[in-house]
Structure 1
Amino acid sequence: MRDKRADVSPGTGPASRHADDGTAGAARHLGSLRGMPVWLKVVTAVLSLAIVGGIAFAGFWYLRLQGNISKAPLNAGGGNSETVSDATGRMQILILGSDTRDGKNAEYGEADLSAGYGKSDVMMLMDISEDNKRVSVISFPRDLLVDIPECKDGETGTEYPARSDVMINEAMTEAGIGCAVDTVNRITGLEVDHFMMADFNAVKELSNAVGGVEVCISDAVYDPDSRLRLPAGTSMVQGEQALAFLRTRHAFADGGDLGRIKAQQGFLSSLTRKIKDDGTLADPGKMLKIADVVTQNLTVDEGLASVPTLLTIGNRLKDIDISKVAFVAVPTAPADLDPNRLQIAEPAGSQLFAALRKDVDLTDPTAPATPSPSETAPPSAAPTETAPAQPPYDKALQAVAVANGTGVPGRSQEIVQALISGGFTQAAQFEATAVAQSVVYYGPGFADVAADVAAVLGIPAGQTVALPAVSGVQVYLGTDFTTGTTYGAAAALPENIVNQTAGDETCQQANPYLIVSE
């Protein structure tokens, strides 16, 4: 029986027609490729592979670096009320070195030597100016006795009461890193924007990643505690010896904490010069290598816990003149409670913190400070009363109290004398809790007196505040007014407050008791 299907001869019918027709179906597109020159096909293929490979490479490193980062809350008490642009705003970053002995750090002692969250082996405040032209690095000795505010552990919710006269390296032990941030805020009157905490392993890996860091010491030295052994003169340290150089408590100067700080600052200065000279911050390959090492051993606050943010801050630092990277130690003196511990030396400490708040160039205090947004805003209007204007008053009859919250003993006496010279002969004084900003408070009916008192001392009208509980007028002096009788005058700084800049090559003095023959 004849098949009813139509006869289809090879090479005929719909399929073959489309195959022969170069204007339709898949063959149409293949036809356009067949018309390409061979070189163009090769270039197209290579570019496609490069784009796909580049995207895959970037994605791999982004996920890797992001996955490396550990984070913790910025504060353990009052939150930071300021907002700052990571790209352009003035920024303070608290840098901490943890002494935790768990995990990779177990070889440096038993874990119970760093109970809780551990102690801060290193504490430095890095202050980047708003115009990205200056960096100040302020070191806090670990033996410094300070008052630690009430702090709350963000993980457990446990609240810890405020403590007085405690070594600053214990600030993070109970409630975590945020408590160390709150403590530094309280001491300086600043509001720290971010923190970075690294452990022992970070130092070893970073020094290896950059190929070693050059250090110098006056004599050959051996410290059995840290296992630091160096010949006299210049050496290249990395790995274990780099860590020993930063950790040693006894190898430098008189074996105290201040000699250790100067050695750490010398190490960081040398590291800064090497990274700058090698063009590391402008080399993506080198930056990725260092970023991988650092992020594996780094804990940061939530605001800093992203690769783009870290890269943005790194980009801010790459063009800074190393002569404008200033290393400073908080001025200290033997503590009254324990001569083996330290306390902030006054008035030098308050002068330093006041200069920091005013964004003074520590390498050149006479240079104009970079104005903050609040300083460039129009001044606030003077406080006014809605009641009918009062008749002129007699300055000699007005009660004016001066509260000394500067942290400088006897400071209020100088201000009282200035007020008496200004006609306010009933001025009295008393000691008060330290505060960051000076304010003139006034009770009901004393707005005009407060305005005149503020004018005598040069205190801005915006810092004149009505407070019903005050009888008359009270001048509350803060740590921003530690010298002189005119508020806002050029900040006085202790002589030689800058230990060195990143441009200085320094040689550490060896502790005579640990000098050995080479």
Structure 2
Amino acid sequence: MVLPRDNRADGTGPPVRSHAAARHAEDPSVGPARHLGAARHIPGWLKATTIVVSVLLVGVIAFGAYWLIRLQGNITTQALGAGNSRTESAPDDATGRMQILILGTDTRDGKNSQYGSKDDSSGYGHSDVMMLMDISADNKRVSVISFPRDLLVDIPKCKDPKSNKQYPAQTGVMINAAMSEAGIGCAVDTVNKLTGLEIDHFMMADFNAVKELSNAVGGVDVCISDAVFDPDSGLRLPKGTSKVKGEQALSFVRTRHAFGDGSDLGRIKAQQGFLSSLVRKIKDDGTLTNPARMLGIADAITKNLTIDDGLASVPTLLTVGNRLKNIDVGKVAFVAAPTEPAVSDSNRLQLAEPAASELFAAMRKDIDLTDPTAKPASTPEASASASASAAPTASKTPAAPAYDKTLQPIAVANGSGNPARGQELAAALKTGGFTQTSQFDAQAVAATAVYYGADFADVAADVAKLLGIRAKQVLPAAGVTGVQVYVGSDYKSGTKQADAPVSLPPDIVNQTAGDTVCQQANPELIVP
């Protein structure tokens, strides 16, 4: 290419233009075409604004990353189960019905050493608190079921995920010991066995969680009928309403003697009252819509929390937390599992039947415990399950049972209202090969159920099938030896159980989160 000659005396010349640029102008000497965008001067204010916005954006990203890393680093995880089989898939975190087992550990390891020595409780520890939180699929209601620590239950065989050691099944053991050998997953499997549900997640907090959470929200209001002092827990409160936080909040939820008759049932009601007040506090203060407060609470909780692998991410925890922010406090129901003094030990508790089974059956049906007549929320999972159950299945030759029918202890408890019904069903069982069958009259109930003791699940299933009783009414029950057919008014006659109306024990709900309840002080600990 030949460059144009420079004819200027000062030796300078016009800038060399490419042929491409020249083609966009009629005269190559006029410079670049206007529509190619000549350089412009950027105002100083725009440069400053751009720099400020960039700095702010980087700061927000860095702040978010810092909190994400910090909260994620706080989380400790364990396995959801302890080797027992599951039949349900994981729910949708945002819209699926979800059950979360909430546990408080009494371990004295690490930060909890000030509350006793390792001899008191170390390793996995015992569950100081056990509550099952059930969130409905439509995010409009929550049920919280408390289990007393003195409740005697059957614990299934469990495998410790850390050591892979297998622990055999146990019968008539306090429920708070379910996680002491094989970890939290064994507690989950135990509650699954007890209720007939399949828990989706768990959260276990230590002593410090209550202290730091109560501090983070600025204290929780609690009420008591009389001034009380419990020397064991150190709780001292005046009559009426007090704001508790830190050590005092921990003493309030831990005390075993300050409320009611000094038993674990009074303690459960106090814990439910504390949580009800905490829910109101968080909602009234707008905490769930305030990012700064939410971060403070999340930091306080996650530092003292152990959760299952399915919950082990900050976004998942936030998704679950977000489900709770718009629920009416009147639809947060606190319930205690129905219990009575255990036959084997009057200082322990056993499930009270048929009330406990009625409660668990209502939960499996997703019944609103505050309004049992309300229609359960419809979910895609439920529709799919219904379609699957309606689909025809190929017939198979039934396998021979792995037990001798003639040796199985079967009892028929006749609560149907038909005096002859017990004898009819006992005769049907004997005809079917269960020759060790007895029958007796029992308290009238609405719904039929088949209860079974440890190692009799397969026998109970065969008994139910023989009598035409629905499989979902076959339930484990502590205190039952062998199998017991408890006949209700839904099965007064015929060879197939009819659909029974939902039946719940009266006053099953202790309180809702919308109720302000004053705890009754234990008369033996009332002080001037």
Q: TM-score of the superposition, structure 2-length normalised?
A: 0.78
Q: Would the aligned equivalents of 2:109 and 2:123 in 1 still touch at CA under 8 Å?
A: no
Question: Match for 1:410: what amino acid?
Answer: A
Question: Match for 2:181: what amino acid?
Answer: E
In the alignment, does 2:373 pair up with 1:373?
Answer: no
Match of 2:421 in 1: 417
Deviations 1:282-305 (A, max 9, x none): 111111111011000000000011
Question: How far 1:70 sits from its partner (Å)?
Answer: 0.1
Counterpart secondary structure, 2:236 = strand
In the alignment, does 2:335 pair up with 1:328?
Answer: yes
Question: How far 1:488 sits from its partner (Å)?
Answer: 3.9
Counterpart secondary structure, 2:120 = helix
In the alignment, does 2:299 pair up with 1:295?
Answer: no
Match of 2:517 in 1: 506
Q: Are the structure 2 counterparts of residues 209 and 384 from structure 1 closer, same or farther at C-alpha, using a change threshold of 3 Å? A: closer
Q: Would the aligned equivalents of 1:95 and 1:126 in 2 still touch at CA under 8 Å?
A: yes
Taking only aligned residues, the RMSD between alpha carbons, in angstroms, comes to: 3.6
Q: Are the structure 2 counterparts of residues 221 and 383 from structure 1 closer, same or farther at C-alpha, using a change threshold of 3 Å? A: same
Question: How far 1:491 sits from its partner (Å)?
Answer: 2.2
Q: Would the aligned equivalents of 2:416 and 2:489 in 1 still touch at CA under 8 Å?
A: no
Question: Match for 1:499: what amino acid?
Answer: N
Q: Are the structure 2 counterparts of residues 257 and 296 from structure 1 closer, same or farther at C-alpha, using a change threshold of 3 Å? A: same
Q: Would the aligned equivalents of 1:334 and 1:340 in 2 still touch at CA under 8 Å?
A: yes
Match of 1:470 in 2: none
Q: Distance in 2 between matches of 1:366 and 1:404?
A: 37
Q: Distance in 2 between matches of 1:178 and 1:386?
A: 35
Q: Are the structure 2 counterparts of residues 129 and 478 from structure 1 closer, same or farther at C-alpha, using a change threshold of 3 Å? A: farther
Counterpart secondary structure, 1:113 = coil
Question: How far 1:17 sits from its partner (Å)?
Answer: 10
Match of 1:102 in 2: 109
Q: Would the aligned equivalents of 2:142 and 2:331 in 1 still touch at CA under 8 Å?
A: yes
Q: Are the structure 2 counterparts of residues 185 and 414 from structure 1 closer, same or farther at C-alpha, using a change threshold of 3 Å? A: farther
In the alignment, does 2:509 pair up with 1:493?
Answer: no
1:268-287 equivalence runs, <5 A: 268-287=275-294
Deviations 1:253-283 (A, max 9, x none): 1100000000000000000001011111111
Q: Distance in 1 between matches of 2:396 and 2:116?
A: 68
Deviations 1:368-423 (A, max 9, x none): 12242355426535667699xxxxxxxxxxxx99x999xx97269889939959x9
Question: Match for 1:68: what amino acid?
Answer: N
Please identify, of 38-47 and 294-303, the stretch whose mean Cα deviation from structure 2 is larger. 38-47
Q: Would the aligned equivalents of 1:151 and 1:159 in 2 still touch at CA under 8 Å?
A: yes
Counterpart secondary structure, 1:55 = helix
Question: How far 1:41 sits from its partner (Å)?
Answer: 1.8
Identify which of 235, 245, 250 aligns with 2:252: 245
Identify which of 457, 479, 490 aligns with 1:484: 490
Question: How far 1:37 sits from its partner (Å)?
Answer: 2.3
Q: Distance in 2 between matches of 1:299 and 1:29?
A: 60
Q: Would the aligned equivalents of 2:71 and 2:302 in 1 still touch at CA under 8 Å?
A: yes
Question: How far 1:489 sits from its partner (Å)?
Answer: 2.3
Structure 1, unmatched stretches of 5+, are 1-10, 388-399, 443-449, 464-475
Q: Are the structure 2 counterparts of residues 132 and 290 from structure 1 closer, same or farther at C-alpha, using a change threshold of 3 Å? A: same
Counterpart secondary structure, 1:340 = coil
Q: Distance in 1 between matches of 2:185 and 2:502?
A: 30
Counterpart secondary structure, 1:156 = coil
Match of 1:165 in 2: 172
Match of 2:136 in 1: 129
Question: How far 1:112 sits from its partner (Å)?
Answer: 1.3
Match of 1:236 in 2: 243
Deviations 1:146-205 (A, max 9, x none): 111111100011111111111111111001000100100000000000000000001000
Match of 2:52 in 1: 46
1:133-152 equivalence runs, <5 A: 133-152=140-159
Match of 1:358 in 2: 365
Q: Distance in 2 between matches of 1:484 and 1:438?
A: 19
Deviations 1:97-145 (A, max 9, x none): 0001122111111111113310000000000011111100000000111
Counterpart secondary structure, 2:278 = helix
Question: How far 1:332 sits from its partner (Å)?
Answer: 0.4
Match of 1:255 in 2: 262
In the alignment, does 2:42 pair up with 1:36?
Answer: yes
1:299-314 equivalence runs, <5 A: 299-314=306-321
Q: Distance in 2 between matches of 1:414 and 1:370?
A: 33
Q: Are the structure 2 counterparts of residues 441 and 377 from structure 1 closer, same or farther at C-alpha, using a change threshold of 3 Å? A: farther
Q: Distance in 1 between matches of 2:316 and 2:104?
A: 21
Q: Would the aligned equivalents of 1:152 and 1:159 in 2 still touch at CA under 8 Å?
A: yes
Question: Match for 2:75: what amino acid?
Answer: I
In the alignment, does 2:120 pair up with 1:113?
Answer: yes
Q: Are the structure 2 counterparts of residues 411 and 171 from structure 1 closer, same or farther at C-alpha, using a change threshold of 3 Å? A: farther
Match of 1:70 in 2: 76
Question: How far 1:321 sits from its partner (Å)?
Answer: 0.8
Match of 2:65 in 1: 59
Match of 1:224 in 2: 231
Question: Match for 2:518: what amino acid?
Answer: C
Q: Would the aligned equivalents of 1:350 and 1:482 in 2 still touch at CA under 8 Å?
A: no
Identify which of 219, 225, 237 aligns with 1:212: 219
Question: How far 1:78 sits from its partner (Å)?
Answer: 1.0
Q: Are the structure 2 counterparts of residues 384 and 288 from structure 1 closer, same or farther at C-alpha, using a change threshold of 3 Å? A: closer
1:399-418 equivalence runs, <5 A: 410=413, 417=421
Q: Distance in 1 between matches of 2:269 and 2:458?
A: 28
Question: How far 1:80 sits from its partner (Å)?
Answer: 3.1
Q: Distance in 1 between matches of 2:253 and 2:55?
A: 46
Q: Distance in 2 between matches of 1:139 and 1:255?
A: 17
What number of residue pairs does the alignment pair up?
457
Deviations 1:304-344 (A, max 9, x none): 11001100100111111110100000000001111011000
Q: Are the structure 2 counterparts of residues 157 and 418 from structure 1 closer, same or farther at C-alpha, using a change threshold of 3 Å? A: same
Counterpart secondary structure, 1:299 = strand
Question: Match for 1:370: what amino acid?
Answer: A
Counterpart secondary structure, 1:127 = strand
Q: Distance in 2 between matches of 1:207 and 1:482?
A: 47
Identity of aligned residues (%): 59
Q: Distance in 1 between matches of 2:413 and 2:312?
A: 45
Counterpart secondary structure, 1:377 = helix
Deviations 1:403-445 (A, max 9, x none): 999xx97269889939959x97957757744759986789xxx
Q: Are the structure 2 counterparts of residues 341 and 279 from structure 1 closer, same or farther at C-alpha, using a change threshold of 3 Å? A: same
Q: Distance in 1 between matches of 2:54 and 2:37?
A: 18
Q: Distance in 1 between matches of 2:395 and 2:191?
A: 39
1:428-447 equivalence runs, <5 A: 432-433=452-453
Q: Are the structure 2 counterparts of residues 351 and 288 from structure 1 closer, same or farther at C-alpha, using a change threshold of 3 Å? A: same
